[in-house]
Structure 1
């Protein structure tokens, strides 16, 4: 049974894979491997932003604010999450980006889990 159970800490485990805890990118046999969903524990310092917009999105996503102030950008719309539990959902075909207005922690769920959206690690985070 232990092979199918994983116990961890989101804050510690998130430092290993740019915040991603669960998804297609985990090794087969790891209980965190999934093609159905991806889960990210995002810890973002103030001023952190996505280096480039996600375009041609084929997934649906839910982002929940745990702490801080976090802004999601969509074409023609900006959404500020500032109270514990504020969240935003966007669907397939919705381009997006983000910026942490204060030190922030967010939980993101995306489905399905598909490759092809990672920003190269050396350019993923930028500051104002």
Structure 2
């Protein structure tokens, strides 16, 4: 649809870039390239966990539960999202991890989009 409109399927597009649909890592000139925001479509099997805690985070994040049951872990506090539309926002500097307690689909939005945060694998 040209360089100003993009239509896709989140599950298909996410599979090609570890879940990320939009952010600094997309090719410059692609409408999905952004230094302002990152958006991820996360599909997780029951028991999936983040490989390591995210520490020293320099972005603010929003995670919205689409389906399933998803636990966010923060120092001294866990948040469990159980109903479609449940969400959590956390500020820059807040360490975190997560676990899919059931098969889950989540959408994550982070801002700004900063290179250098990808985990190996």
TMscore range, shorter length: over 0.9
RMSD: 0.8
The corresponding residue for 1:77 is 77
Residue 6 of structure 1 deviates from its aligned partner by: 1.2
Residue 115 of structure 1 deviates from its aligned partner by: 1.1
> What SS does structure 1 have at the residue aligned with 2:13?
helix
Residue 3 of structure 1 deviates from its aligned partner by: 1.6
Instruction: Determine the C-alpha separation between the residues in 1 that align with 2:3 and 2:64.
Output: 30
Deviations along 1:78-108, whole A, 9 cap, x unmatched?
Answer: 0000001000000010000000000000000
Write out aligned runs for 1:1-128 (5 A). Answer: 2-121=2-121
Residue 4 of structure 1 deviates from its aligned partner by: 2.1
Instruction: Determine the C-alpha separation between the residues in 2 that align with 1:38 and 1:23.
Output: 4
Deviations along 1:13-55, whole A, 9 cap, x unmatched?
Answer: 1110110000000000000000000000000000000000000
Instruction: Determine the C-alpha separation between the residues in 2 that align with 1:117 and 1:89.
Output: 18
For structure 1, which runs of at least 5 residues remain unmatched after alignment? Answer: 122-128
> What SS does structure 1 have at the residue aligned with 2:30?
coil
Instruction: Determine the C-alpha separation between the residues in 1 that align with 2:116 and 2:97.
Output: 16
TM-score, normalised relative to structure 2:
0.98
Instruction: Determine the C-alpha separation between the residues in 1 that align with 2:116 and 2:90.
Output: 18
Residue 116 of structure 1 deviates from its aligned partner by: 1.6
The corresponding residue for 1:124 is none
TM-score, normalised relative to structure 1:
0.93
